[in-house]
Chains A and B, each alone.
Chain A
């Protein structure tokens, strides 16, 4: 084979897989097969028919384009999103007509190419990807001449200081990205939530405080701290503690999402006997009502799927499963640590409030979490 001059050295007699790797190509290589004429090449009728097909497709395309405009102006959109076969009429017919007009062109052109354009295959010679030896020599000479004339090789002082300057000039560009993040960029902000001692637990939509009497065994409630649910006027109220003290000023609205992300909790009432009593969490429940962070410790999805009989809580994103009867331990899935539990307390009337903020960061793990 003619490329064999480029083969890896074949001189060692024992390395080749086949005793004689050369096989006579020319002997068995047939040339290009004879051309087969298409019906449209030999039959004028077939040719005319193909011509009409192609033109017909182009006409179909034009009709569809016009219909698109008709549909655009004549169909209502908006309210009716499933008038026709479960689709919005406008969307469906706009799609069909646009598709029709484009496909008419596409299929038409390809039909033209397949039936009427010449279909004789032709051959072209390939050339090696590399340039010719002459070109290479000339280029190398030009390169070395240029380098020589610049004197970059002879003046290492200039060369090295230039390299240094180029490297240093990249630093401002990178440093300038610093303010993409806030000034007070610190992992400590991940360690606390909106919760604090004496903050009432409220329903996440209505914003009303939750009385333990409202919860039956098996009930699961999504909740937030008071102060993160807007009141009827749309303002965030300042949270008030059990002794009537304002715990902290009302939160500015812009910070709501950040705080809500960390502070969402779930309350679950189970039979007090079901709870595995952990020595340092002896009385964290109120009559069997336990309170956990709603944010999965894996990558931070809100956990939502409760298995009532087992008290298992499953994250719908990656299926980490936590045992709410046993300090939120991971019993399945990719989460690396337990769901943070909140120490819950009740006031004189039985309304639930937080004894403290969570004693560990909520949400996904990060380097400084420890």
Chain B
């Protein structure tokens, strides 16, 4: 019997003969004699990739990047990145006769006079949204499941750089058509650069080649957009993939899946087919979006004019969160003294905070590692509930991001929901600080409560909803043991181990060198681990099994919960 199928008609009914080399074999032989590919293929052609829907998020990002390259090349055939003014004579009647830049003219030409041009333009823009959105969610997945732990810290760093560069790539891209909306964005970018202390003014002159708007910004953004950043992205994506292959993909814990192995489908044929097929799906979905969903209708905005602006001017969503911070910071934070101006409302929100957040993201794995002191490799993912503080940190970051994004749309929200824009802004000024703290606390407690629930189920089984009445008349609910797989996922988890923190003070009560840092580390470790509920140990499982003697029934009124509280705070 074949191991592949019980029918097996399409999977070959006879064993491959050794006598006559197939055509594939001959081709492979020809290539190997010149390139020596067999050694590489031996290791990788049947490389195992584990299966889970969340592993697809990064793939969406990868394939939308390929779609961006393909559609982008198409657009470069017609786009003319020049700020020279000419009279528009194209198909779009409302603008005919007006003086517009070559960049805007060629963007209109692509949209109205090149067949399929609008489709490709819209696909390019939609793919950019997909690219950045998928990267963002992929990053959350990696963070929440602890996939960035040793040995994958550097791949996390590469990922953060990819997200940052992808965002800049998006900004340089949507600025190119030189329509009113994108020009307004560039105008704001000029304000951002000018806000940098000491060098801001010179930075603005350098960037624009003259006083804003100059005549150089579109050609410069163009070469950054089509060469500089894509080259960096391509290199980093290649490194990201190589490391992924070298480390082998992480996997979820489960029966048969350990830190030492990787269980899943082989690259050839299943993953090659699934990943290759998925590329066509991403490409196809982008094509449908480009066909049926209008994006960035530049002809409605009109050409850039520094004296005009559209109400409700918004950047693309991924630039929305710094824009939101920019909207809610009060203007009195601008300081002027000794003949100079600190344009803090701008500098702080669109330059400092994003930079600090990128640095924080890069450092996250190293900070966590410093706290835990864990030097081992990890290949099994953690369920978000099993790392309550880490999940809390992500909840706080997401809340911060979400509130800032809402702030970025405060005018739209005010109009659509008929609210006062001032009230929304005042609310967000407070919420941006309080929201993340609250989110951290809720997420952490929620996780701990889920941990407690899992522990209880592992020890006493799950509630069946079947009420039984004993001969004495007492009602109780029947509990049944969890299926072996689920039980294993709970019990296989390794208990958290509190790092050994050196005493800060020596026996004479004098603080040791570095003692202050050790003390901080000890407090952080307590904050990170101490409230967690630990999985049941073998002894506890044995005890629980023995205690219930197979009748895992709980009296309805007073169910006895025994928690493995590891500190006072998780008792209830």
Contact = CB atoms under 8 A, between A and B. Distances in A.
Interface stretch (A124-132, A144-152, A208-216): A124-132
Nearest to B93: A79
B44 to A, nearest CB: 11
Given A17-B534, A33-B256, A319 B206 contact: no
Interface in B104-126: 112-113, 115-116, 118-119, 122-123
Given A94-B119, A109-B280, A181-B210, A124 B48 contact: yes
B277 A107 contact: yes
A2 B465 CA distance: 40
A298 B534 contact: no
A126 B330 contact: no
A126 B379 contact: yes
A367 interface: yes
A120 B112 contact: no
Interface stretch (A133-141, A165-173, A239-247, A258-266): A258-266
Contacts of B496: 17
B4 A17 contact: no
A367 B212 contact: no
Interface in B84-134: 85, 90-93, 112-113, 115-116, 118-119, 122-123
B375 interface: yes
Contacts of A96: 288, 291-292
Contact of B190 (A8, A260, A299): A299
A113 B202 contact: no
Contacts of A109: 273-274, 276-277, 280
Contacts of B312: 316
Nearest to A259: B211
Nearest to A204: B307
A185 to B, nearest CB: 4
Contacts of B379: 126
Interface in B277-301: 277-292, 294
B209 A40 contact: no
B498 A103 contact: no
B379 to A, nearest CB: 6
Contact of A16 (B277, B290, B497): B497
B7 A44 contact: yes
Contacts of A125: 260-262
B411 A319 contact: yes
A106 B283 contact: yes
Most A-side CB within 10 Å, residue of B11, B194, B323: B194
B308 A302 contact: yes
A370 B334 CA distance: 11
A119 B270 contact: yes
A370 to B, nearest CB: 4
A187 interface: yes
A42 B212 contact: no
Given A370-B336, A370-B341, A99 B331 contact: no
A8 B375 contact: yes
B495 interface: yes
A177 to B, nearest CB: 7
Contacts of B281: 102-103, 106-107, 110
Nearest to A363: B191
Interface residues of A, number: 126
B9 A367 contact: no
B307 A367 contact: no
Nearest to A266: B307
A348 interface: no
Interface in B198-215: 198-202, 204-207, 209-215
Nearest to B335: A336
Contacts, number: 419
A95 B374 contact: no
A249 interface: no
Contact of A28 (B184, B373, B421, B538): B538
A126 B260 CA distance: 5
Contacts of A105: 277, 280, 284
Contact of B210 (A17, A33, A258, A298): A258
Contacts of B255: 29-33
A330 B216 CA distance: 33
A3 interface: yes
Given A31-B255, A370-B339, A103 B280 contact: yes
B543 interface: no
A294 interface: yes
A17 B498 contact: yes
A79 B91 contact: yes
Contacts of A9: 500
A365 B248 contact: no
Given A12-B500, A126-B261, A180-B209, A30 B488 contact: yes
Contacts of B422: 332
B412 to A, nearest CB: 11
B328 interface: yes
A224 interface: yes
Given A23-B538, A107-B277, A336 B331 contact: yes
Given A102-B287, A129-B246, A17 B309 contact: no
Contact of A6 (B47, B196, B305, B376): B376
Contacts of A301: 184, 187-188, 309, 313
A21 B201 contact: no
A351 interface: no
From A99, A130, A318, A370, name the one whose CB has the most chain B CB atoms within 10 angstroms.
Answer: A318
A105 B323 CA distance: 40
Contacts of A162: none
A103 B195 contact: no
Given A187-B201, A364-B194, A299 B188 contact: yes
Interface string A181-203: 11001010110000000000000
Contact of B327 (A1, A31, A32, A318): A318
Interface string B30-41: 000000000000
A47 interface: yes
A77 B109 CA distance: 11
Nearest to B118: A91
B234 interface: no
A222 B498 CA distance: 67
6 contacts: A100-B284, A121-B51, A128-B151, A261-B212, A366-B200, A367-B341
Given A110-B281, A124-B263, A366-B341, 6 more contacts: A102-B287, A106-B281, A113-B274, A130-B151, A317-B309, A336-B345
Interface of A: 1-3, 6-10, 12, 15-18, 20-21, 23-25, 27-33, 37, 40-44, 47, 51, 72, 75, 77-79, 81, 87-88, 90-96, 98-110, 112-113, 116-126, 128-130, 177-178, 180-182, 185, 187, 189-190, 204, 222, 224, 253-254, 257-258, 260-261, 264, 294-295, 298-305, 316-320, 330, 332-337, 363-370
- Pairs A-B, 7 closest by C-beta atoms: A95-B291, A336-B334, A299-B191, A106-B280, A109-B277, A32-B256, A102-B284
